């Protein structure tokens, strides 16, 4: 069968099954279990109405339970058991083993660095781009260009930037842009990604490059939502462009800035692909998610791997809650 | 001190002329109201004085200094915006302090000025609130307070009452009038489309229409001696009736044969050369009086609709052709007149005569042809 037809058929069956589920489940509830007739018609209608929401929510609850809640519980269980002893309960042994590994603390430190640098720089650049592109004719073209990296997968971006940092021996022409420029200026080529500590920042730039577009689009919309009259009032009050930006505009979009910041923070806490594709955690660039992957799938140590996963989840959760809270507050 | 002189000021966006030939002298202590139909450019003119819109022609002087290219903050003006434009993230106090802090004024003086403005506007209890916790009228007072603290030469108000409900609008209007009385030296320019605001607040009204000034004068001048048909119909509600006719006798008084049978005598003098000229006579609905059958009348017609407002009754006569219906306003309640034929006359002093849309009273002034309709 033609793959396109196959796709359409799949869609038709999937959507049909969904519609069928809601329709027939509803019918059975109303006509068979609690029919709206007979001596108990009123009571039956009330009961059916109590059950109906759960009936409709069931598919979503089931899917979320299977693919979200169950894995969390299972990961927690695995993190408390040991592979060598055939899965026996070992309490917090995996955690204490992990804590004693310098590689874990390196990942922890790097994650915190990412956490500070990437959201701050993405939001700052995004805000700058949003403000600067707002009033110029080719602003939309500039915005599209800045937004484009958003469409690239993290691995793809990692590969692109690996080429930027590419190093060739001194006597061959440099194909990495950075080294080509350096060579052009008379410098010696550097192996950028192997310079400890600073290589973290070379990796962060990739994510900043991607997330700036996201921040810009959201903040640009927020900036446009500022009442023009407040800006004019500030002009009449004698504020210069910097004062208008920092004292009138930025405070008015502060809730949006917080949401953008925390959303990027969540992405950063889970960062894996870029590090995996570019350094795989070597040269002191390890991060938590890549550490987890190493333990879980390379070393096959699901105990410590799951413990790392739980740590990541514990770090993400409070920020996630705060983010949702802020987003809701802004919607009101 | 704060004299404002506009000389041949114009505004165009590309090839579209929004305003042209605006000449205006405003002296210190005046409260000038710009009034006109929507789209007449009154807000644009105010924003040009504020410096928020560029002046594309002519000259604007404040206190004898040309300020065409002076930034808004250095013109000595303060503006109250239609939507108040309070800074939502600042408290009332911070809103009022903002301009002074920008100007790096000493803190003691800032506090003193905010204190004074709060006293004048009774904002004391609200100083630490955010704008969102204020009612519309309170926000408007804060917006005015923000102007007062700057102690400007000229206050600019851009339709400040249009976002308030009817009752609050009257109250705030009176507050603004009192504020003006408390600061007799301040010059104020006030934009509105509401002629009641214009009539009650203004020391002089500037009627803008069709991109130019239709007439400048005190409220009663505009009401009693409109320069042209536009102003005649714009000021007063319901609008002045215009009836076509022909001059049949000239002199200190003018006699006009009104189309449709009546004869009008106007106190407006005319020249011998005016004999036979086609004119429009203008009579305000409230100036009509009912006359008995057989007596001389200006207009007679069948009453189509009556509206009894209590102290007066509005009579809408059957329209003739496509014209607006003639409207009469009689004292008292006259519901029974519906469907009746009524004959109306008026005091010659209240009969205006327009030739070529211009009042014969102002025959020496250049004709201003205004194509916009007043209502």
pLDDT at A82 over 90: no
pLDDT at B131 over 70: yes
> Is A329 part of the contact surface with chain B (CB cutoff 8 Å)?
no
In terms of average pLDDT, the best of A192-196, A300-304, B148-152, B163-167 is: B148-152
Q: Collapsing DSSP states into helix, strand and coil, what is residue A226?
A: coil
> Is A248 part of the contact surface with chain B (CB cutoff 8 Å)?
yes
Which of B51, B71, B89 is nearest residue A252 as measured by Cβ atoms?
B89
CB atoms within 10 A of CB B107: 10
Q: What are phi and psi of A305, to 5 degrees?
A: -60, -45
Kindly determine whether residue B73 and residue A235, on different chains, have CB atoms separated by under 8 Å.
yes
Q: How far apart are CA A11 and CA B316, in angstroms?
A: 67
Domain count, chain A: 2
Instruction: Give residue for tokens 């003193």.
Output: B112
pLDDT at B375 over 60: no
**Which of A32, A49, A79 is a domain's end point?**
A79
* A121 plus A34 within the same structural domain: no
How confident is the model over B281-311, as pLDDT tens digits?
Answer: 999 999 998 888 878 888 888 888 889 888 8
Kindly determine whether residue B85 and residue A229, on different chains, have CB atoms separated by under 8 Å.
yes
**Which of A36, A53, A79 is a domain's end point?**
A79
Is residue A103, in this structure, part of any structural domain at all? yes
Is residue A89, in this structure, part of any structural domain at all? no
The first and second tokens of residue A47, run together, are: 């009961």
pLDDT at A327 over 60: yes
Is residue A88, in this structure, part of any structural domain at all? no
Choose between B200 and B39: higher pLDDT: B200
* A107 plus A150 within the same structural domain: yes
The sign of the dihedral angle between the CA atoms of B190, B195, B199, B201 is negative
Kindly determine whether residue A237 and residue B99, on different chains, have CB atoms separated by under 8 Å.
yes
Q: With beta carbons under 8 A apart, name residues in chain A contacting B83.
A: 227, 229
Kindly determine whether residue A235 and residue B81, on different chains, have CB atoms separated by under 8 Å.
no
* A24 plus A144 within the same structural domain: no
DSSP-derived secondary structure letter, B92 = H
Q: With beta carbons under 8 A apart, name residues in chain A contacting B103.
A: 238
DSSP-derived secondary structure letter, B183 = -
Residue B1: band (very low, low, confident or very high) from pLDDT cuts 50, 70, 90: very low
Contact residues, chain B to chain A, C-beta under 8 Å? 50-52, 71-74, 77-79, 81-90, 98-99, 102-103, 146, 150
> Is A243 part of the contact surface with chain B (CB cutoff 8 Å)?
yes
> Is A246 part of the contact surface with chain B (CB cutoff 8 Å)?
no
How confident is the model over B242-256, as pLDDT tens digits?
Answer: 988 999 988 889 999
**What pLDDT is attached to residue A209?**
92
Instruction: Chain A: give the shortest CA distance to residue B150, in Å.
Output: 8
Which of B81, B84, B102 is nearest residue A243 as measured by Cβ atoms?
B102
* A62 plus A121 within the same structural domain: no
pLDDT at B78 over 50: yes
Choose between B320 and A137: higher pLDDT: A137
* A243 plus A296 within the same structural domain: yes
* A265 plus A146 within the same structural domain: yes
> What's the whole-number average pLDDT of chain B?
87
CB–CB contacts below 8 A, A to B? 63
Q: Collapsing DSSP states into helix, strand and coil, what is residue B211?
A: coil
How confident is the model over A161-175, as pLDDT tens digits?
Answer: 888 888 887 777 778
Q: How far apart are CA B72 and CA B48, in angstroms?
A: 9
* A13 plus A115 within the same structural domain: no
Instruction: Provide Rg for chain B, Cα atoms.
Output: 24
Is residue A175, in this structure, part of any structural domain at all? yes
> What is the span of the domain harbouring residue A193?
94-331
For A26-176, list the strands marked E by DSSP: 81-82, 88-89
CB B142 within 8 A of CB B85: no
Instruction: Chain B: give the shortest CA distance to residue A248, in Å.
Output: 7
The fold of B4-230 is Rossmann fold (3.40.50)
The first and second tokens of residue A69, run together, are: 């809640």
CB B257 within 8 A of CB B248: yes
How confident is the model over B2-45, as pLDDT tens digits?
Answer: 588 888 888 988 888 888 888 889 988 899 999 988 888 888 99
Q: How far apart are CA B152 and CA B75, in angstroms?
A: 9
Q: How distant, in Å, are the alpha carbons of A151, B78, B113 from that of B107?
A: 52, 21, 10
- Average pLDDT for A80-89: 77
> Is A170 part of the contact surface with chain B (CB cutoff 8 Å)?
no
Task: Return residue ranges of chain B for CATH 2.40.50.140.
Answer: 237-362
Give percent of chain B above pLDDT 90.
24
**Which of A50, A79, A108 is a domain's end point?**
A79
CB A176 within 8 A of CB A165: yes
Sequence-ordered list of residues with C-beta below 8 angstroms from that of B211, at least 6 positions apart, any chain: B17, B18, B19, B20, B40, B41
Q: How far apart are CA B252 and CA B242, in angstroms?
A: 22
Instruction: Give residue for tokens 């020496």.
Output: B364
**What pLDDT is attached to residue B369?**
65
Q: Collapsing DSSP states into helix, strand and coil, what is residue A34?
A: coil
Which of B83, B87, B102 is nearest residue A238 as measured by Cβ atoms?
B102
Helix or strand run (H / E) with residue A110: helix A102-132
Which one of A229, A231, A232, A233 makes the best mutation probe of the B interface by having the most chain B beta carbons within 10 Å? A233
The first and second tokens of residue B115, run together, are: 């204190």
Q: With beta carbons under 8 A apart, name residues in chain A contacting B84.
A: 229
**What pLDDT is attached to residue A84?**
74
**What pLDDT is attached to residue A332?**
67
> Is A233 part of the contact surface with chain B (CB cutoff 8 Å)?
yes
Q: Which of B353, B323, B350, B337 is nearest to B290 (CA)?
A: B337
* A175 plus A304 within the same structural domain: yes
Assign residue A147 the CATH number of its domain: 1.10.3720.10
Residue B92: band (very low, low, confident or very high) from pLDDT cuts 50, 70, 90: very high
Which of A236, A248, A252 is nearest residue B73 as measured by Cβ atoms?
A236
Pick the CATH number of B237-362 from 3.90.1580.10, 2.60.120.10, 3.40.630.30, 2.40.50.140: 2.40.50.140
Q: Collapsing DSSP states into helix, strand and coil, what is residue A179?
A: helix
Kindly determine whether residue A227 and residue B85, on different chains, have CB atoms separated by under 8 Å.
yes
How does strand B312-317 pair with strand B299-308? antiparallel
Task: Return residue ranges of chain B for CATH 3.40.50.300.
Answer: 4-230
> What's the whole-number average pLDDT of chain A?
86
How confident is the model over B354-368, as pLDDT tens digits?
Answer: 988 888 888 777 766
How confident is the model over A225-275, as pLDDT tens digits?
Answer: 899 889 999 999 888 889 999 999 999 999 889 889 888 988 888 888 888
**What pLDDT is attached to residue B372?**
64
* A42 plus A187 within the same structural domain: no
- Average pLDDT for A276-295: 84
* A143 plus A195 within the same structural domain: yes
Is residue A285, in this structure, part of any structural domain at all? yes
List the single residue in B with minimal CA-CA distance to A253.
B89
* A122 plus A42 within the same structural domain: no
Kindly determine whether residue A235 and residue B72, on different chains, have CB atoms separated by under 8 Å.
yes
- Average pLDDT for A33-42: 81
Instruction: Give residue for tokens 């333990």.
Output: A295
pLDDT at A17 over 70: yes
Is residue A211, in this structure, part of any structural domain at all? yes
**What pLDDT is attached to residue B178?**
87
> Taking the CA of residue A169 as centre, how many other CA atoms within 13 Å lie in the half-sphere pointing to its CB?
2
């Amino acid at each position: 069968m033609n793959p396109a037809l196959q796709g359409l058929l799949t869609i038709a069956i999937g959507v049909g099954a969904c519609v069928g589920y809601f329709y027939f489940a509803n019918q059975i509830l109303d006509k068979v279990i609690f029919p709206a007739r007979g001596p108990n018609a009123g009571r039956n209608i009330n009961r059916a109405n109590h059950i109906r929401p759960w009936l409709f929510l069931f598919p979503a609850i089931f899917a979320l339970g299977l693919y979200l809640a169950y894995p969390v519980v299972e990961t927690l269980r695995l993190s408390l058991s040991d592979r060598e002893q055939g899965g026996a309960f070992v309490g917090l042994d995996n955690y204490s083993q992990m804590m004693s590994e310098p590689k874990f603390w390196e990942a922890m430190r790097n994650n915190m660095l990412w956490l500070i640098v990437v959201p701050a720089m993405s939001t700052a650049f995004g805000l700058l781009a949003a403000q600067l592109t707002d009033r110029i004719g080719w602003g939309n073209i500039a915005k599209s260009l800045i937004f484009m990296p958003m469409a690239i997968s993290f691995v793809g971006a990692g590969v692109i930037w690996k080429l930027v940092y590419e190093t060739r021996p001194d006597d061959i022409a440099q194909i990495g842009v950075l080294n080509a420029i350096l060579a052009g200026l008379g410098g010696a080529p550097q192996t950028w990604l192997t310079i400890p500590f600073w290589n973290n920042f070379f990796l962060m730039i990739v994510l900043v490059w991607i997330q700036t577009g996201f921040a810009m689009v959201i903040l640009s919309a927020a900036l446009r939502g500022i009442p023009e009259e407040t800006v004019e009032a500030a002009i009449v009050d004698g504020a210069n462009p910097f004062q208008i930006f920092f004292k009138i505009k930025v405070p008015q979009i502060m809730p949006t800035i917080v949401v953008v910041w925390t959303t990027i923070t969540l992405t950063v806490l889970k960062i894996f692909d870029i590090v995996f594709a570019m350094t795989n955690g070597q040269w002191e660039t390890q991060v938590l998610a890549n550490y987890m992957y190493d333990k879980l799938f390379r070393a096959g140590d699901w105990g410590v791997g799951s413990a790392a996963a739980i740590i990541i989840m514990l770090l993400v959760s409070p920020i996630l809650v705060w983010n949702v809270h802020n987003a809701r507050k802004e919607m009101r | 001190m704060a004299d404002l002189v506009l000389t041949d000021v114009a505004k165009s966006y590309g090839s579209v002329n929004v305003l042209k030939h605006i000449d205006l002298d405003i002296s210190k202590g005046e409260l000038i109201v710009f009034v006109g139909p929507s789209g007449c450019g009154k807000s644009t003119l105010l924003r040009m004085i504020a410096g928020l819109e560029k002046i594309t022609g002519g000259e604007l002087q404040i206190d004898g200094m040309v300020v065409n290219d002076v930034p808004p903050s250095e013109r000595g003006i303060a503006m109250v915006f239609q939507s108040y434009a309070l800074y939502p993230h600042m408290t009332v106090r911070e809103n009022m302090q903002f301009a002074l802090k920008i100007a790096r004024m000493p803190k003691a003086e800032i506090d003193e000025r905010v204190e004074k403005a709060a006293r004048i506007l009774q904002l004391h209890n609200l100083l630490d609130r955010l704008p969102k916790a204020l009612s519309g009228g309170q926000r408007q007072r804060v917006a005015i307070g923000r102007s007062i603290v700057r102690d400007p030469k000229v206050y600019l108000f851009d339709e400040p009452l249009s976002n308030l409900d009817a009752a609050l609008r009257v109250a705030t209007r009176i507050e603004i009038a009192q504020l003006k009385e408390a600061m007799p030296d301040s010059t104020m320019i006030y934009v509105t489309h509401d002629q009641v605001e214009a009539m009650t607040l203004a020391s002089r009204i500037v009627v803008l229409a069709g991109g130019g000034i239709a007439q400048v004068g005190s409220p009663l001048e505009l009401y009693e001696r409109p320069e042209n048909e536009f102003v005649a119909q714009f000021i007063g509600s319901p609008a002045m009736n215009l009836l076509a006719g022909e001059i049949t006798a000239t002199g200190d008084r003018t006699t006009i044969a009104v189309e449709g049978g009546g004869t009008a005598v106007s106190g407006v003098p005319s020249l011998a050369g005016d004999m036979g000229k086609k004119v429009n006579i203008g009579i305000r609905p409230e100036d009509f009086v009912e006359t008995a059958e057989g007596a001389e009348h200006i207009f007679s017609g069948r009453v189509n609709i009556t509206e009894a407002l209590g102290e007066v009754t509005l009579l809408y006569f059957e329209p003739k052709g496509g014209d607006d219906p003639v409207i009469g306003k009689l004292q008292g309640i006259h519901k029974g007149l519906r469907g009746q034929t009524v004959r109306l006359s008026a005091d010659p002093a209240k009969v205006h005569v327009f030739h070529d849309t211009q009042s014969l009273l102002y025959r020496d002034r250049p004709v201003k042809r205004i194509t916009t309709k007043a209502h």
